[in-house]
């Protein structure tokens, strides 16, 4: 019995952020759904309390929404140290379950689902509420044909506390908008993108930026706007293209999405005719002054100024992986360049590095000599010089002495977001040279530095990082890294 009122009956589902039961409200004599929110295990004390405060706040916002296509939140209660959402009970399956069982859906069915969900989201937006977590798992398909969206940012509120405090990402980033993947606040346009990604997955069988076990690599794809052109969307292709634009300001409103989907249900030919955009825009998206190489189809390419792609991506990234978050800004259909891919943009469109790396030559692949990396044999001191040396010595090892560099990372970051030794090796195999400048201690255990990566394909990425260091045994190690700014160039010929 929860809060002396809700009697739990059977588990309906569980996930990383909670468990959902079918329950019975003893007071009002009705079936309800009860979701117990789980606080990430790394959160304790004030952090856990903040997570629950956020969840309660989001629950109260959601409770104000009344719409036929949104699961109603009745109450938020606290019992025995846990927070519970009391919600409308809908006998249903989630869209993610349906896709897992049936595979891609027909266009008409997808348009029907999308029109109902977008109507609920438009209603929420009119009330000033951003969902923040639109994805197939949060769309319920009732046994009676009803479609409802649930979990209006409530679980995400808890997740964000965990991400902020631990420096790691939680859950799958496959349905995040690029700006949210970079660490920016979610807006109405973010919901539009996430719904577009959801509808894309319903039609294509996979999210627009792909999927996989390496959350960090996927996060980069999402943040950089890497989207594979749909092949099964038919007349929905122009709408999806607009919804999945990298620039939030150029996406349609949720009301426009709803209207288009409703029209599509009855007259798909008319929709295709009225929303079709020039082929060049569907392929190339939104070119800006600072652009990178574009791979051939089937990649749907979008660009933005270079500061955006990896800026806040890497609440997750360690120093050696900050480059991984930018390695694929040359937009390909996979995490690594396709062997047959060739540049499709003229070289004049690619900015040339005003300051080519001294290591960015054919000889840059040679590993640094031992004399470049002073050995650390004694217990580290806590002075600024010692902290700075952690960063300079680490990068002096790269890319030729990966085992030694690997040992300078904490176990947590070796596994996530590095993705283990395989992911680490894959990234550095693409680098021919790297250098650091402007290494500056900014706190007792924090250092900032500018890092320039020279990729073997001629791309040069310059980023400003902030590192969090921890001492393990007799050595300082890199535990967290945030990209403060990022620029990508082409090496001068």
Phi-psi region of 346 (alpha: psi -120 to 50; beta: other; left: phi over 0): beta
The sign one gets for the Cα dihedral 157, 59, 191, 95 is positive
Cα 60 to Cα 250: distance, rounded to the nearest angstrom: 31
**CA gyration radius, the chain:** 24
* CA 114, chain centre distance (Å): 22
Verify cis geometry, omega within 30 degrees of 0, for the bond prior to 164.
no
Containing 75, the helix (H) or strand (E) segment is: strand 73-79
Verify cis geometry, omega within 30 degrees of 0, for the bond prior to 298.
yes
Active-site annotation holder among 122, 133, 328, 479: 133
Cα 127 to Cα 61: distance, rounded to the nearest angstrom: 9
Cα 388 to Cα 437: distance, rounded to the nearest angstrom: 11
Cα 5 to Cα 1: distance, rounded to the nearest angstrom: 6
**Residues 6 or more apart whose Cβ sits within 8 Å of residue 44:** none
Nearest to 244 by CA among 178, 332, 339: 178
Cβ(342)–Cβ(449) below 8 Å: no
Contacts 24+ apart (CB under 8 A), 333-337: 333/210, 333/228, 333/295, 333/298, 333/299, 334/210, 335/212, 335/214, 335/217, 335/221, 335/426, 336/426, 336/430, 337/295, 337/457
The SS3 of residue 10 is strand
For this structure, is 407 an active site residue?
Answer: no
* CA 105, chain centre distance (Å): 25
Query: What secondary structure does DSSP assign to 294-343, as a single string?
Result: -PPTTEE-----TTSSSTTGGGS--HHHHTTTTTTTT--SSSS--TT---
> Helix axis angle, 188-204 relative to 254-266, nearest 10°?
30
- Catalytic sites, residue numbers: 133
């Amino acid at each position: 019995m929860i809060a002396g009122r809700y009697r739990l009956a059977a588990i309906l589902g569980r996930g990383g952020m909670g468990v959902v039961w079918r329950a019975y409200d003893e007071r009002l004599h009705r079936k309800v759904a009860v979701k117990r929110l789980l606080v990430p295990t790394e959160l304790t004390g004030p952090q856990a309390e903040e997570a629950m405060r956020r969840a309660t706040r989001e629950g109260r916002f959601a409770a104000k929404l009344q719409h036929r296509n949104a699961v109603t939140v009745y109450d938020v209660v606290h019992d025995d140290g846990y927070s519970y959402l009391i919600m409308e009970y809908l006998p249903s399956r989630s869209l993610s379950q349906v896709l897992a069982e049936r595979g891609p859906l027909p266009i008409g069915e997808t348009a029907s689902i999308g029109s109902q969900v977008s109507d609920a989201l438009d209603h929420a937006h009119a009330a000033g509420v951003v969902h923040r977590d639109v994805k197939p798992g949060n769309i319920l398909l009732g046994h009676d044909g009803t479609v409802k969206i649930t979990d209006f940012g409530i679980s995400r509120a808890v997740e964000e506390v965990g991400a902020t405090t631990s420096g790691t990402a939680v859950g799958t980033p496959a349905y995040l908008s690029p700006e949210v993947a970079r660490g920016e606040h979610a807006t109405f346009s973010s919901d539009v993108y996430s719904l577009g990604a959801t509808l894309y997955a319903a039609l294509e069988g996979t999210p627009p930026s792909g999927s996989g076990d390496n959350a960090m690599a996927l996060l980069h794809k999402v943040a950089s706007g890497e989207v594979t052109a749909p092949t099964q969307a038919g007349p929905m292709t122009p709408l999806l293209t607009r919804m999945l634009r990298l620039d939030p300001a150029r996406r349609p409103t949720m009301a426009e999405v709803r209207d288009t989907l409703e029209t599509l249900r009855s007259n798909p030919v008319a929709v295709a005719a009225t929303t079709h955009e020039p082929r060049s825009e569907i392929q190339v998206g939104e070119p800006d002054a600072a652009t990178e190489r574009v791979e051939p189809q089937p990649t749907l390419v979008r660009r933005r100024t270079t500061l955006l792609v990896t800026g806040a991506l890497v609440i997750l990234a360690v120093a050696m992986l900050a480059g991984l978050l930018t390695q694929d800004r040359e937009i390909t259909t996979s995490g690594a360049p396709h062997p047959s891919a060739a540049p499709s943009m003229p070289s004049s469109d690619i900015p040339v590095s005003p300051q080519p790396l001294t290591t960015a030559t054919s000889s840059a692949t040679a590993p640094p000599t031992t004399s470049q990396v002073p050995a650390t044999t004694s217990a580290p001191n806590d002075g600024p010089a010692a902290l700075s040396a952690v960063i300079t010595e680490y990068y002096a090892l790269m890319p030729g002495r990966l085992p030694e560099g690997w040992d300078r990372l904490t176990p947590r970051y070796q596994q996530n977001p590095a993705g283990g030794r395989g992911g680490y090796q894959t990234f550095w195999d693409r680098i021919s040279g790297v250098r650091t400048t402007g290494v500056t201690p900014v706190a007792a255990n924090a250092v900032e530095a500018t890092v320039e990566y020279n990729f073997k394909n001629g791309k040069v990425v310059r980023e400003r990082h902030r590192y969090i260091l921890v001492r393990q045994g007799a050595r300082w190690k890199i535990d967290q890294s945030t990209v403060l700014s990022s620029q990508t160039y082409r090496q001068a010929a």
